[in-house]
């Protein structure tokens, strides 16, 4: 597809180039968008997708090229997100742009206020947001602070911000990474409604099923270059994948393993947890993970997944129950003692909880083990040992970076996640708690992370995998446990896993009740 001087284009980005230091993020890329069109923008991490959209949204300027919006030439020196919003462009970022000390209501409304709006009409604002939530099946408490809600709910706030701004051009950067299937359906119903109303959407995604089900056209970037723009009806998923990576991609599957005689890596017995406000978040949660086993946890966002992970790692105290690890009761153990004993933790939000972006790769790799004698002695850091450790990790874990002393913020999301994984695996863990470890990653990075988790299990490590990607749970898990409102609803063993049973349990049906209904029906 090329520009034929068709005046129907609502966005025209022509010959855009952008360089960061020695890295050419975009090289002569053009994109044209019509009203009423859903455009999928696909490519691996580092392909230039987010850079192109950040230029359209005014986050930064291109080094070369031009932009037109509604046939109006944009002066990029004055083009900012605030001006873009006024022009009807909104962007839902992959990594959230919330003010965590503000309430959900304030986060949604504040970006739209003028400098002299000293007294916003909060009641009217609240009414509009509540109507949007009901219309698009979103559910988040408006008076809670952004810091108090789950990562899935934070994604909903970002979506509500865009809806509230009445945008006519909406950019969504990996918007479904933490949404439940029902929430995803609501989002795509919303996109379909926007299309009917002649709005335009750019859907930046790695999920090709989303592309095939919802997009009209597909633009593929690779290595900062525009590879092709085609009608969705003219291609297959395999065609898109081949253009993205220029090779065949096979899903990573965990081989079936006989774990009947394996020892338990960890056991949770009658675990109850309350949050800081005294609200019960987990009720009588009990399960075991065997060495060499991957146990998946499925459920709607905010159902208690985060609380299980934080209870195991020691971030949340138990109000009742106990945790047994390696034959020892660790319920009262400190976080450091648990980590030193071999419990590795991959948090769902790496930017907030796993890395320090302004620190180097080498520094990030030893953040949790700087007190080890090989890295420091009498509080004096052995910088040579830290650097050597990082150089080894960069090679072993295929981290793409100019140097091990480059800042973490210079790495792509996939390579940042490799550093997080390297930090854990280099400590030889006996249990890995992985929370959405491949969220927002491209094919190659996802493939690599999954291979490492499977490899860890094959090396007798227990793995607890939380994921909103049901395909990922199906492909990697020996068993899947389903959690609903802080309670385990049931268990599906490998070979018995089916979408219907899983969906029913996610909706709150007990596994035994589901079996009884199926028995009665037969």
pLDDT, one tens digit per residue, over 304-324 is 898 999 999 999 999 999 999
pLDDT at residue 489 in the model: 87
DSSP assigned state of 337: H
Average pLDDT of the residues of the chain? 86
* Rounded Cα–Cα distance for residues 356 and 364 (Å): 7
pLDDT, one tens digit per residue, over 341-357 is 999 999 988 888 889 99
pLDDT at residue 1 in the model: 53
**H or E stretch covering 212:** helix 208-214
Name which of 183, 251, 178 is nearest 436 in CA terms.
178
The confidence band for 521, taking pLDDT boundaries of 50, 70 and 90, is very low
Residue 129 burial (CB < 10 Å; 0-12/13-18/19+)? buried
Percent of the chain with pLDDT over 70: 91
pLDDT, one tens digit per residue, over 51-108 is 999 999 999 899 999 999 998 999 988 999 888 988 889 998 877 789 989 999 999 9
249 vs 237, 241, 246, CA distance in Å? 11, 7, 9
pTM: 0.67
**β-strands 11-20, 23-33 pairing:** antiparallel
Cα 437 to chain centroid distance, Å, stands at: 8
**Mapping DSSP to helix (H, G, I), strand (E, B) and coil, where does residue 261 land?**
coil
Residue 4 has pLDDT above 50, yes or no: no
pLDDT at residue 502 in the model: 72
pLDDT, one tens digit per residue, over 18-30 is 988 777 889 999 9
Residue 13 burial (CB < 10 Å; 0-12/13-18/19+)? buried
Which domains, ranges and CATH numbers included, belong to the chain? 11-102+167-245 (3.40.50.300), 264-521 (3.40.50.300)
* Rounded Cα–Cα distance for residues 160 and 237 (Å): 30
* Rounded Cα–Cα distance for residues 32 and 8 (Å): 10
DSSP assigned state of 255: P
**8 Å CB contact between 260 and 494:** no
Residue count (the chain): 522
Residue scoring higher pLDDT (257 or 443): 257
Residue 514 has pLDDT above 50, yes or no: no
**β-strands 200-204, 169-173 pairing:** parallel
């Amino acid at each position: 597809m090329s520009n034929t001087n068709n005046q129907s284009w609502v966005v025209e980005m022509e010959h855009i180039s952008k360089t960061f230091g020695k890295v050419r993020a975009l090289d002569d890329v053009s994109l044209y968008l019509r009203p009423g069109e859903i455009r999928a923008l696909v490519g691996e991490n580092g392909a230039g997708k987010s850079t192109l959209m950040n230029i359209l949204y005014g986050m930064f300027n291109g080094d070369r090229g031009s932009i037109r919006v509604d046939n109006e030439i944009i002066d990029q020196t004055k083009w900012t997100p605030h001006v873009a919003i006024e022009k009807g462009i909104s962007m839902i970022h992959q990594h959230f742009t919330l003010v965590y000390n503000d309430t959900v209501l304030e986060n949604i409304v504040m970006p739209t206020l003028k400098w002299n709006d000293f007294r916003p009409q909060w009641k009217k604002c609240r009414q509009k947001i509540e109507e949007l939530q009901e219309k698009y099946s979103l559910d988040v408490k408006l008076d809670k602070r952004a810091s108090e809600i789950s990562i899935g709910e934070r994604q909903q706030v970002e979506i509500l911000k865009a809806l509230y701004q009445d945008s006519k051009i909406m950019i969504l950067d990996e918007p479904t990474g933490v949404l439940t299937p029902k929430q995803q359906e609501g989002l795509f119903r919303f996109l379909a409604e926007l299309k009917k109303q002649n709005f335009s959407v750019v859907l930046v995604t790695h999920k090709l099923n989303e592309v095939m089900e919802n997009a009209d056209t597909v633009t593929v970037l690779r290595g900062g270059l525009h590879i092709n723009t085609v009608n969705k009806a003219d291609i297959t998923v395999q065609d898109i994948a081949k253009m993205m990576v220029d090779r065949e991609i096979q899903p990573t599957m965990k081989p079936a393993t006989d774990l009947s005689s394996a020892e338990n890596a960890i056991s949770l017995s009658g675990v109850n947890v309350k949050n800081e406000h005294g609200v019960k978040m987990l009720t009588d949660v009990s399960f075991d993970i065997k060495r060499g086993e991957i146990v998946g946890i499925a459920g709607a966002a905010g159902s208690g997944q985060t609380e299980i992970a934080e209870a195991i790692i020691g971030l949340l105290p138990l109000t009742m129950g106990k945790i047994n690890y390696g034959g020892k009761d660790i319920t009262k153990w400190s976080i450091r003692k648990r980590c030193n004993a071999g419990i590795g933790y991959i948090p769902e939000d790496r930017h907030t909880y796993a890395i320090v972006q302004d620190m180097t790769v080498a520094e990030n790799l030893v953040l949790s083990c700087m007190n080890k004698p090989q890295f420091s002695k009498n509080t004096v850091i052995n910088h040579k040992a830290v650097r050597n450790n990082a150089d080894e990790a960069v090679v072993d874990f295929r981290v793409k970076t100019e140097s091990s002393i480059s800042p973490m913020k210079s790495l792509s999301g996939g390579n940042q996640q490799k550093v997080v994984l390297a930090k854990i695996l280099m400590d030889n863990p006996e249990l890995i708690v992985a929370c959405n470890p491949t969220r927002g990653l491209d094919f190659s990075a996802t493939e690599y992370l999954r291979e490492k988790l499977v490899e860890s299990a094959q090396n007798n490590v227990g793995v607890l995998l939380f994921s909103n990607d049901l395909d990922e749970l199906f492909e990697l898990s020996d068993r899947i446990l389903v959690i609903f409102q802080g309670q385990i609803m049931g268990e599906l063993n490998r070979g018995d896993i089916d979408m219907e049973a899983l969906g029913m349990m996610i909706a709150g049906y007990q596994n035994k009740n589901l079996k009884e209904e199926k028995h009665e029906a037969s």
